Amino acid sequence: MAIERTLSIIKPDATRRNITGKISAAFEAAGLRIVAQKRLRLSLERAQAFYAVHEERPFYADLCAFMSSGPVVAQVLEGEGAVARNREVMGATNPADAAPGTIRAEHAESIEANSVHGSDAPETAATEIAFFFEDDEIVG
């Protein structure tokens, strides 16, 4: 499998509980390298833009309010099949369905406050990485 990059976001529920290091350690233990990272706070408008794909979903307004409610840590993860690998480590969207040992099973508070975001395909990863990072901020 090819070396890929994917976008990760450690969400406000996780920064609030001071578990960004635990989550990053899970990525590294899974063979993913953090090749870019920044802590920032999304404005409501930036959160709405990031999640525009979910605009029609009933949870969109709440999700955008949540994602702008506190700091997040945006990361670029690099490794073999990084998109799928990251999603394995994250676990299912709803922590009730997430496999034991996954980040969401261990740490998520709810289906919304589920601690991490990960790109769902290489094409979306490229767009999402560019949403947060300039090329020269990514150092593999």
**Where in the sequence numbering do the catalytic residues fall?**
117
Binding residue (CB under 6 A) for ligand ATP from 63, 64, 89, 103 = 63
Contact 69, 47 (CB under 8 A): no
Q: Quote the least distance from Cβ 53 to ligand ATP, whole Å.
A: 8
Strands 72-80 and 33-40, bridge-based pairing = antiparallel
Give dist(CA 137, CA 139) in Å, integer. Answer: 6
Could you tell me which stretch among 25-33, 41-49, 73-81, 115-123 binds ligand ATP (CB under 6 A)? 115-123
**Cβ atoms of residues 6 and 126 within 8 Å:** no
Binds 69: which of Mg ion, ligand ATP, none (CB < 5-8 Å by kind): none
Closest to 90 measured CA to CA, from 7, 1, 4: 7
Residue whose CB is less far from ligand ATP, 112 or 135: 112
State the Cα–Cα distance between residues 27 and 6, nearest whole angstrom. 12
Interface residues toward ligand ATP, by CB under 6 A = 54, 59, 63, 93, 111-112, 114, 117-118, 120
Question: Where does this chain bind Mg ion (CB under 5 A)?
Answer: 120
